[in-house]
Amino acid sequence: MVNLDLTEEQQLLEQSVREWGARAVAPRIHDLDRAHQFDRALLPQMADLGLLGSCIPQKYGGAGMDYVSLGVASEELEYLDTSLRVIVSVHVGLNSLTLLSWGTEDQKSRYLIPQAQGKKIATYGLTEPSAGSDARGIQSVAIKKGDRYVLTGEKMWISLADVADNFLVFAWSDLEKKKQRDPNGISAFIIERAFKGFSSGTLKEKWGILAGNTGFFKMDEVEVPQDNLVGREGEGFKIAMFALDQGRYTVAAGATGLIRACRDASVRYAKQRKAFGVEIGSHQLVKEMLAQMESDYQASRLLWMRAGSLKNVGRRNTKETGLAKWFATVASERAASDAVQIHGANGYSDEYPVGRFYRNCKGAVIYEGTREIHKVMQADYLLGYRTDRPTRCELPPYA
């Protein structure tokens, strides 16, 4: 029989994140969101819970949890607020797990260990002002000069751009291949905020995930030591896609948490609010929305757990992770919209949390592969236009 029960360790993690969230986050999240304020004080608390190094092995400073635990944490964090799950998505999913698989021992000791311990915060810079889905359209370049690369370019829509210390960055290191749009000309680098020529800023006009930091960074002839090249020269595109397999997993589990948050808030409200002399929950059309939320929650959870189980045994899961991310994020948009609907005019105000859920859910339908990109991907697998070939480095199975 397939065992879908959480292990004791996973249940303990779920419980600890819930208790911490109820105490340290829930009473303040409305105000943080309204003030567009990223609360740095939450980072050491998340580190204490092991969340910033959740499934990084203990020998690299992490908590040594399995990959399903990363999903459990992501679901609980986004139940509280999307901004918290985003921290884990970029810091652990996109950055640290990539260093675990692709980094040298020297890079692991200089970057992965302090990141897993939560002493340094990390993010991932692929998107640029003129290129998102079309990652080969990036314009950043890395010119080799002696034992360094000189990086010039601009990254846009970067989570934690104004918070992170370390950045996993992608740039063209082969200008001939850039002209031909051959992805084998892209390389991956680790950049530190302290490197000369690096600057960053926060996007002020964002209308969702307001308690999170999203911004841009510029590289003005930033000199990066050769030792900070991740993988081999020309492997950057593969590394960027590898990272997305882990980031998307946390987004899938997070969106599942958002659906649960919508469901719980809606059930509460449906039992309180009366219309036509009865609780609105007794009206069939309200029931329909609640039932849809429950089926979306359960299906989304099964999909991310399947992807996490494959990660645990070291099996390639690009297709399964993509499906989980696509399904859960689209379902979370439906759940958030219906949650506002069930709350009527009250849902249209920030007095209730569902308006924040509605603003927050949309980002995930866009980042880490838009809804359309994921649709195309799933169809391409079916049609045989796409298959996953093994890469030089894969995610290590959970030992």
Ligand X SMILES: Cc1cc2nc3c(=O)[nH]c(=O)nc-3n(C[C@H](O)[C@H](O)[C@H](O)COP(=O)(O)OP(=O)(O)OC[C@H]3O[C@@H](n4cnc5c(N)ncnc54)[C@H](O)[C@@H]3O)c2cc1C
Q: Round to whole Å and give the CA distance between 240 and 125.
A: 9
159 near 199, Cβ under 8 Å? no
- Kind and range of the H or E run holding 279: strand 278-279
Q: Which residue carries 């390389």 as its tokens?
A: 187
Cβ count near 291 (within 10 Å): 11
Which tokens sit at 130?
A: 């003129």
Give me the least distance between CB of 289 and ligand X, in Å please: 26
Give me the least distance between CB of 167 and ligand X, in Å please: 10
Specify the residue, 165 or 264, whose C-beta has the smaller distance to ligand X: 165
DSSP letter string, 93-109:
IIIIHHHHHH--HHHII
311 near 67, Cβ under 8 Å? yes
Question: Which residues are CB-neighbours of 118 under 8 A, at least 6 positions away?
Answer: 43, 44, 46, 47, 48, 52, 53
First to last CA, the chain: 22
Give me the least distance between CB of 80 and ligand X, in Å please: 17
Give me the least distance between CB of 336 and ligand X, in Å please: 15
Specify the residue, 84 or 305, whose C-beta has the smaller distance to ligand X: 84
Specify the residue, 244 or 342, whose C-beta has the smaller distance to ligand X: 244
Specify the residue, 49 or 138, whose C-beta has the smaller distance to ligand X: 138
Give me the least distance between CB of 7 and ligand X, in Å please: 31
Specify the residue, 266 or 329, whose C-beta has the smaller distance to ligand X: 329
Note if 351 is an active site residue: no
What are the angstrom distances between the C-alpha of 223 and each of 5, 141, 145?
49, 12, 9
Q: Which of 75, 78, 320, 368 is catalytic?
A: 368
Residue 67 in 3-state DSSP? helix
Give me the least distance between CB of 295 and ligand X, in Å please: 26
Specify the residue, 65 or 169, whose C-beta has the smaller distance to ligand X: 169
Q: Round to whole Å and give the CA distance between 247 and 352.
A: 29
Specify the residue, 143 or 373, whose C-beta has the smaller distance to ligand X: 373
Specify the residue, 342 or 364, whose C-beta has the smaller distance to ligand X: 364
Per-residue burial over 178-211, b if 16 or more Cβ lie within 10 Å, else e, is beeeebebbbbbbbbbebeebebeeeeebebbbb
Per-residue burial over 111-125, b if 16 or more Cβ lie within 10 Å, else e, is bbbbbbbbebbbbbb
- Kind and range of the H or E run holding 223: strand 214-225
Q: Which residue is nearest to ligand X (CB)?
A: 132
Give me the least distance between CB of 372 and ligand X, in Å please: 3
Which tokens sit at 176?
A: 């001939």
Give me the least distance between CB of 240 and ligand X, in Å please: 8
Interface residues with ligand X (CB under 6 A) are 90, 123-127, 132-134, 157-159, 209, 214, 363, 366-368, 370, 372-373, 376
Q: Round to whole Å and give the CA distance between 47 and 197.
A: 30
Cα 121 from chain centre: 14
Question: What residues are labeled active site?
Answer: 368
